[in-house]
Structure 1
Amino acid sequence: MRAFSCDTCGEQVYFDNTICLSCDSPLGWSRAEQRITVVPDDDTRCSQRTLNGCNWIVATPGLCDCCALTRTRPADHDVVGLPQYYVAEQAKRRLVAELDALGLPVAPRDAQGRGLAFDLLSSVEEHVVTGHADGVVTIDLAESDDVHRERVRLEMGEAYRTMLGHLRHEIGHYYEMLLVADDATRAAARDLFGDETADYQEAVDRHYADGPPVDWPERYVSAYATMHPFEDFAETFAHVLHVRDGLETAHAHGLTGDPRVAERPFAEVVLDTWLPLTRALNQMNRSMGQGDLYPFVLSAPVVDKLAYVHHLVTASSRSEP
């Protein structure tokens, strides 16, 4: 995420800021301008700002575009689910802002079932399965809880598990529906990810019964990606977002030069800029007694997949009218 400056005093401000800590100017995210700006008055603040901390600006009083994408949230009396919902919406705002920057369509779900919707569900009283179905992203809000999420991560033998990671993965399924939509792209995707017509439930059962192939790091970005071609695409899509957002943030804070992602081949960006940066950051984390920031090894076949998905994303944005 880029760094921004306060319109009033020029001090550096950030994506989540609601106030400038230097001059006390009220701040909010302008989706139209894709930047943090001074909020004109309270009527231009999202009506969900108290409930979920939203700092987005609205043209007319009410919900902002991002909050309006949420179809279901915890009930007002859910004292466990509401704080978890707060955390999930923070991550969702970052996701939507990145999708906007990429030029990907982020349209709310209409009466015909087209577009996006998010069901952010409390699992306090019911079992919730995180997933995607025809444009509806469902999130188990228990994943907002650090203790729960770390326990599941260890049980699943995962290297990485975050709320933002869940959202980036699940939205990847949605964009596969939109971007892999003709015979040519479908054939190219099949060459890289495998036959998407393979029975999904059989693949799930096999994955959890037998685990991933022993040599999975040679061909996949994660063990979960081995389960089915749909999951491989979604995991790869999530990592494209990880790389782009991570590099933009690093450049904004002087940790790397301009990655020029829009001009350079994405495989080159990954190999020559992203991997050296993450190796350094992993060592920095270790120097502080923490785990690796980016605990992934990107083999040549994985880099090819990343480059293909990035091409799909950027080609789609260039073709938008």
Structure 2
Amino acid sequence: MKLFVCQDCGNVLYFENRACGRCGHRVAFLPEKETMSAIEPDGEGWKTLADKGERRMLCRNADYDACNWLTDAGDTTGYCRACRHNGIVPDLSDPAQLAGWRELEVAKHRLFYSLIRWRLPLQTRQDDPEHGLIFNFLADDPNTGQRIMTGHDNGLITIALTETDTIERERRRLEMGEPYRTLLGHFRHEVGHYFWDVLVREGGRLDECRAVFGDDSADYGEALQRHYAQGAPADWQQNYVSAYATTHPWEDFAETWAHYLHIVDTLEMAGEFGMEVRPKVDPDGELSTRIRFNPYEALDIQAIVDAWLPFTFAMNSVNRAMGLRDLYPFILSPAVVAKLGFIHSLVRDVAKGGKP
């Protein structure tokens, strides 16, 4: 994630800003420019100061304070590149559900920032009625006792609204034995399943993927039952980024995909702040790094990992000094780095104009 600048006054802007805190200009995200722009009223639409292009419209979900993106020029749907992938949203007449949906949209828009940066293929259900990417945000039904489960099914990603309840999310984290559980993590994991379909199965990389993650033809239902009954192997950290990744090759891929997005986006943010790590007690420089490169354009995974490890060593130590859990409580073994390298090759091939 980048920092941005108001074109009117030069003030620093952040991705979720709706207005400049210095000059008061309304601001919005221009997805095709990958930047925030100060905007001014122009008839029924808005004039963008970033590119002084034709009149633009705010996404229709801006009416609910759930989106701060502009629609594409010539758009006829009224929705931005992120929100046109929405299917079912919660009952927006319910203040609690509206507040929860806004939280989900914050996480979803951060997800789409990364997907757009990599030029990954993003088809809606209008583009592809059977396999297009679509999000349903559903609430539990207290009358029937139906509980919504977060998951992916052939391009349809369901996110349980109850995950926006901090207490409930923490209860589930503890129940599942997870070191962390976030809304953004859910989005990044579930979209990993979608891109396994698009980039691996349909992209001609299946054999290569199986060589790294294992045989995905193994029965998924049986694998899931076995995982919940027996847990992860004792030595799982030697080969997997998380305990849940041991369940099945599909989950291993999705977990690794999510961590790759975590790492790249966080490193970009650290680089925007000019962060560097140089411990005085580290004469050999093994715990040192200067984040002076764009991780979205890194040529190989090792450059990313070499910056990530010292950075997280430092941030974990800072968190512990505040009595907080580690920012990144995971181990990147050589086997996991190789899996991250496979994900890196997938997104890099698309970003360079390769297939699909």
Question: Scaled by the length of structure 1, what TM-score is found?
Answer: 0.95
Indicate the residue corresponding to 1:68 in structure 2.
Answer: 84
Cα distance change, pair 39–124 in 1 and its aligned pair in 2 (3 A): farther
Distance in 2 between residues matched to 1:139 and 1:124, nearest whole Å: 14
Counterpart-to-counterpart distance in 2, 1:303 and 1:167: 22
Q: Does residue 243 of structure 1 match 2:263?
A: yes
Name the counterpart of 1:8: 8
Encode CA deviations 1:134-191: one digit per residue, 9 max, x unaligned. 1111101111121111111011110011000000000000011111136962112111
| Worse-matched range after superposition: 67-76 or 34-43 | 34-43
Seen in structure 2, the aligned counterparts of structure 1 residues 183 and 143 have a Cα distance that, compared at 3 Å, is: closer
CA distance in structure 2 between the partners assigned to 1:239 and 1:293 by the alignment: 13
Distance across 1 between alignment mates of 2:202 and 2:11:
48
Instruction: Output the amino acid matched with 2:132.
Output: G
Which ranges in structure 2 are unaligned for 5 or more consecutive residues?
46-56, 277-290
* Mapped contact 2:90–2:101 kept (Cα < 8 A): yes
Q: Does 1:91 align with 2:111?
A: no
Rg larger in structure: 2
Give distance in 1, aligned partners of 2:254 and 2:102: 25
**1:50, CA displacement in angstroms?**
3.5
Q: Match for 2:174: what amino acid?
A: L
Report what 2:201 is aligned to: 181
User: Distance in 2 between the 1:220 and 1:258 partners?
Assistant: 29
The change in CA–CA distance for 1:184 and 1:37 in structure 2 (over 3 A counts) is closer
- Aligned length, in residue pairs: 320
Aligned counterparts, 1:1-321, within 5 A: 1-41=1-41, 43=45, 44-58=57-71, 59=73, 62-110=78-126, 112-125=129-142, 126-181=146-201, 185-256=205-276, 257-261=291-295, 262-270=297-305, 272-320=306-354
Deviation at 1:70, TM superposition (A): 0.8
In structure 2, the residue corresponding to 1:55 is in which secondary structure? coil
User: Distance in 1 between the 2:131 and 2:229 partners?
Assistant: 35
8 A Cα contact 1:73 1:122, kept in partner: no
In 2 relative to 1, CA 10–183 (structure 1 residues): closer, same or farther, beyond 3 Å?
closer
SS of alignment partner, residue 72 of structure 1 = coil
Once the two structures are TM-superposed, the CA of residue 309 in structure 1 deviates from its matched residue by 0.8
Contact 1:80–1:124 under 8 Å retained in 2: no
1:52 positional shift: 4.3
Q: Deviations over 1:52-80 (max 9, x none)?
A: 43100124583222112110011233343
Deviations 1:109-146 (A, max 9, x none): 12532321000111243311111111111101111121
**Aligned AA for 1:97?**
Y
Name 2:287's counterpart in structure 1: none
The answer to whether the 8 A contact 1:71-1:119 is kept is yes
CA distance in structure 2 between the aligned counterparts of 1:176 and 1:188, rounded to whole angstroms: 12
Deviates more, 1:85-94 or 1:110-119: 110-119
Q: Which moved more, 1:1-10 or 1:60-69?
A: 60-69
Q: Identify the structure with bigger relative contact order (alpha carbons < 8 Å, sequence gap 6+).
A: 1
Shift of 1:260: 4.2
The structure whose residues are more often helix, as a share, is 1
Q: Would the aligned equivalents of 2:118 and 2:350 in 1 still touch at CA under 8 Å?
A: no
SS, match of residue 37 in structure 1 = strand
Look up the SS of the partner of 1:38 in the other structure: strand
**How far, CA to CA, are the matches of 1:313 and 1:27 in structure 2?**
30
**How big is each residue's C-alpha offset from its partner over 1:200-242, in whole Å with a ceiling of 9 and x where there is no partner?**
1000110001111111011100000000000000000001101
CA contact (8 A) 1:52 1:89 kept: no
**8 Å CA contact 2:136, 2:156 repeated in 1:** yes
Q: CA RMSD in A?
A: 1.7
Cα 1:3–1:142 shift into 2, 3 Å: same
Letter in 1 for 2:340: L
CA contact under 8 A between 2:140 and 2:160: conserved in structure 1? Answer: yes
Distance across 2 between alignment mates of 1:183 and 1:314: 13
Gaps of 5+ in 1: none
